[in-house]
Structure 1
Amino acid sequence: MNSPRTHEPRTPHVVVIMGVAGTGKTTVGPLLADRLGVPYAEGDGFHPEANIAKMSAGTPLTDEDRRPWLDAIGEWAHGRAGLGGVVSCSALKRSYRDRLRASAPGLVFVQLTGDRKLIEARMTHRQGHFMPTALLDSQFATLQPLQADEAGVAVDVSGSPEEIAERALSALHGLGQ
């Protein structure tokens, strides 16, 4: 269900919805994109088949596995420069975010955060996703939260997807985005 746009973008930045598996990137991303009036791209769609097979088998990806994925997302974001867009990408490490910014300077990050138990419960109830709950601990262990010198905001994932999208939109507007 799409709700009407409540705000128009002030500047056409590309926003990366980031966070560990199960935070709602795939649900919140399209809602935020709709409110901003820009296209949404699902980050999982940029993964090579080998990465999906590895994660489906419960094996965490290595930095080397992630490079072509991050580069593909960075290429998409670069193509949206000046036009705006929203893309989901876990972007768990600073080095991953730096790699994305190297392809598409000016990215803005929305880090979805929340209680591990809540996130695990949401992962347990979702259907048809390749990421098993068993990899959640490795995701939290890898996570490097946004740093003060990175353009972005942290948004709590408690509440409905619509509430989370509205919090993200408000936080982005607070940054002047």
Structure 2
Amino acid sequence: MKSVVVVMGVSGCGKSSAGSLLAQRLGVRFVEGDSLHPQANVDKMRAGSPLDDDDRKPWLEKIGKALADAGEDGGVVIACSALKKRYRDLLRDRAGPELRFIHLTGDRAVLAARMVNRPGHCMPVSLLDSQLATLEATYGEQDVLEVDCAMEQGLIIETSLAFLNATEGADNE
């Protein structure tokens, strides 16, 4: 079975780091979702303006296409905020039932401290509160595992792998 995974959460939670390590462990390709943003989105974020649904729609479609195309590669892990349930539903629709989400959660202070230590990143700390306000809970979504981003990186990966192994084939039942 192919691994099709979105590592999600607000900025600063460690999506890119965890996603890259998870992809290595799974032996699949890693895609940094931020690299799929249109330049207008990057410019808007760098200017300190939060993205709205209209800004995110073409970006989410690109993420969805990359997930759908994962079958050709044997799988993929993509770092993508996926803040709203409707965004996750769009990705589910594009990717199919094998899609799983690893939701990295964290305390605002931890997230902000991490963001300060990322000079040159397109997402300034000033946008953290808008992301936290936009984030919709994943409770009840059976294909989502919530993991505290403050956990040791190796434990995040091992916990994620255990979830992926436990839910493998669940979409076929």
Q: TM-score, normalised by structure 1?
A: 0.88
Partner of 1:53: 43
- 1:85 pairs with 2:84: no
- Superposition map of 1:25-36 within 5 A: 25-36=15-26
Secondary structure of the equivalent of 2:59?
helix
Aligned residues: 167
Q: Is the 8 A contact 1:81 1:104 kept in 2?
A: no
Counterpart code for 2:50: P
Secondary structure of the equivalent of 1:119?
helix
- 1:154 pairs with 2:146: yes
- Superposition map of 1:32-111 within 5 A: 32-81=22-71, 83-106=74-97, 107-111=99-103
User: How far apart, in 2, do the equivalents of 1:93 and 1:49 lie?
Assistant: 22
User: How far apart, in 1, do the equivalents of 2:30 and 2:116 lie?
Assistant: 25
User: How far apart, in 1, do the equivalents of 2:84 and 2:113 lie?
Assistant: 24
Partner of 1:170: 162
Deviates more, 1:41-50 or 1:117-126: 117-126
Counterpart code for 2:128: L
Q: Mind listing any 5+ residue stretches in structure 2 that lack a counterpart?
A: none
Q: Is the 8 A contact 2:3 2:26 kept in 1?
A: no
- 1:114 pairs with 2:109: no
Counterpart code for 1:169: L
User: How far apart, in 2, do the equivalents of 1:75 and 1:150 lie?
Assistant: 22
Partner of 1:134: 126
User: How far apart, in 1, do the equivalents of 2:29 and 2:118 lie?
Assistant: 24
Q: Is the 8 A contact 2:83 2:131 kept in 1?
A: yes
1:105 is displaced (CA, Å) by: 1.3
Q: Is the 8 A contact 1:43 1:87 kept in 2?
A: yes
Secondary structure of the equivalent of 2:71?
coil
Q: Between the two proteins, what is the percent identity of the paired residues?
A: 48
Q: Is the 8 A contact 1:60 1:138 kept in 2?
A: yes
- 1:15 pairs with 2:5: yes
Secondary structure of the equivalent of 2:49?
coil
Q: Mind listing any 5+ residue stretches in structure 1 that lack a counterpart?
A: 1-10
Superposed CA offset, 1:53-111 (max 9, x none): 00001100010000110000100110003721100100000011111112111211110
Summarize the Cα distance change of 1:169–1:129 in structure 2 as closer, same or farther, 3 Å threshold: same
Q: TM-score, normalised by structure 2?
A: 0.90
User: How far apart, in 2, do the equivalents of 1:29 and 1:149 lie?
Assistant: 20
1:150 is displaced (CA, Å) by: 4.1
In angstroms, what is the RMSD of aligned CA positions? 1.5
Counterpart code for 1:66: R
User: How far apart, in 2, do the equivalents of 1:161 and 1:129 lie?
Assistant: 21
Higher normalized helix content (fraction of residues):
2
